[in-house]
Amino acid sequence: MATKEELYSKVVPRKNRQNRPGTVKHGSTLEVFLSMGFPKARALKALASTGGKSVQAACDWLFSHVDDPFLDDPLPREYVLYLRPTGPLANKLFEYWHQSRQVCGKNKAHNIFPHITLCQFFMCEDSKVDGLCEALQNTVSRWKETFPLPLPLELYTSSNFIGLFVEEQSAEIIKKFAADFASEAASKADVQVEPHKKQLHVTLAYHFQPNHLATLEKLARIVDLKLGCDWVAALYSRDIRFANHETLRVMYPYTPQNDDELELVQGDYIFMSPIEQSSTSEGWIYGTSLATGCSGLLPENYIAKADESDTWVFHSSNSFLTATASAGASLCDRVFRRRCQEEQGPGEALSLPTNVICQPMPMVSKNSRSCPQKRDLYVCRHGERMDVVFGKHWLTQCFDAKGNYIRSNLNMPPILPQRSGGYRDYEKDAPITVFGCAQARLVGEALLESKSSIDYVYCSPSLRCVQTAFNILKGLQQENKIKLRVEPGLFEWTKWVSGNTLPAWMSTEELAAANLGTDTTYRPHFPVSKLGISESYETYISRSCQVMRDILAECKVKGTSVLIVAHASSLEACTRQLQGLSARNSKDFVQVVRKIPYLGFCACEELEDAGIWQLVDPPILPLTHGPNHSFSWRDILYQD
């Protein structure tokens, strides 16, 4: 069979070769597929599964689904018609979506983008999708003069629901439009559409925790309902087989080790049926790939929960202002995609059909913020530790019988600070390596390059944190202007400290004498005397939260930036409750902490008029580094 490239050169009609992808209509596209020898049912399924975007998209779908056991299954897709907002009001709703999710966690409303439901899900055969889209365009054309614009909305809240309800008279007009569409769809596509009969509304939040009601309502009242908006009628579909499945996103690639395992490609989506999980081993799930249609076992820690609408296919949208149909993504989709770029880790993401709705709510871009008066909070883990790189017995490599420090590796510091308790105190309070210092300076230089200012720096009393903070300031060229505030309350969970005593930390005077720039006049909010040994998880979380609130109250001037340099656990413990979120259980907390590397960096921004904070994109790029094992030329090269 010919290659994909050879097929593409043949399938695009000559008259369209100079046009942008997506200009080919279903009819001519179907004829091209049939002339290539594809069965008609497969060609129609590919076109319906990609929203008729283009020949190339449909070809890609067919090539990736060659092993799909349901490729020739005659099941139709399920379709739904929504009203979606565009323009300034849509932007505000997307902001609310993001803020409410970050502050209070995900609730049921987040499963689908902001919309007004016009009908229940209905089935349509693949061969009749064109007729369905034509029915929508015809109906909108008839109603564009009658449709109520601007659409009057009113905020409504209850103990478990927050939404924007359409004023009754306008709602009746919209319901008549939906009924007219149902009649037109029955005529053009032979489908049975049931118009939505309940009160028309945009759901903002439901099935949330009771203690989140006040915060969610406060955020909802910030949305200005008088902002400009064009409402578009948009048609979406989903695979009927996975209507009751959980939607998951692949975070990391995985190569199968056994025949019953599923290959994972980063960026793909997985459908998981709860019924099929009873027979799987712990740590594994059984799922089906959106990209290939193949099923198998996959490791649970390689995926994350996604939203229900992430895998829906967009087919058509029609504006009530212009009554023009869109065969690609609607304006609302384009705005949503631009504002909400996919959260991707390192590696190449899967190329999915461009009309699949893949738009989970991400972090707000730090560079896109417009208000300079908001306070910023940065939390950073320390740099590479000596005791981790050279082992827990590293002291025996570096100190002689008299306690003199001897450097035995280029990654060891040339000198170490003098300690009043002697060098044995380094055993529980290790310094960072030379590379750890370089890591920290890189972060500081990146902050300087991004024009990010730092006004206050607080750090854990651990030497590795103090040294990291000082080297960040070096990179920022602020080491002589900003003094480090050593705060014992920022120390990690004491349950993780070996033995029955806390480390014997260096005093601020000793640190200052070692030219580490500490503020010897600073009085901690949480003194060392209040730190307990083997504290409970709840005590640690409470301590971290209270210390952060005290620090932020101390730095309360608008527009200031605070940098916290502490431990891997600090990125979670110091920010989660500031967002209004309840603490994770200790097991989940440990799993999060394990994934945070040296110099792991996160950023928070104070929400204006809301009294809460949200995670945002850091102003700097991530820092990736790998292990470099000890090398002995004598052992490896000097051999007979």
Q: Which residues are catalytic?
A: 381-382, 567
Q: How far is CA 591 from the centre of its chain?
A: 17
Residue 458 Cα distances to 247, 446, 603, angstroms? 41, 19, 15
Number of other CB atoms surrounding residue 99 within 10 Å: 23
Angstrom distances, CA of residue 132 to CA of 22, 42, 180, 213, 288 = 18, 19, 13, 40, 28
Rounded to an integer, what distance in angstroms lies between the CA atom of residue 604 and that of residue 562? Answer: 10
Distance CA 270, CA 291 (A): 9
- For 57, counting Cβ atoms within 10 Å of its Cβ (0-12 exposed, 13-18 middle, 19+ buried), the class is buried
Torsion angle in degrees (nearest 10) through CA of 19, 23, 28, 33 = 90
Per the listing, tokens 């259980």 go with 585
Instruction: Give CA 271 to chain center in angstroms.
Output: 19
119: DSSP letter: B
What is the Cα 21 distance to its own chain's centre? 29
Vertex 112 angle, CA 111 and 114, to 5°: 135
| Distance of alpha carbon 266 from the chain centroid | 14
H-run or E-run covering 305: strand 303-305
SS3 of residue 496 by DSSP:
helix
Tokens 């590919």 found at: 46
Q: Taking phi first (over 0 means left), then psi (-120 to 50 degrees means alpha), and beta for anything else, what does residue 594 get?
A: alpha
Q: Which residues pair with 458 in a beta bridge?
A: 485, 564
Straight-line distance from the first to the last Cα atom of the chain, in angstroms, rounded to the nearest whole number? 55
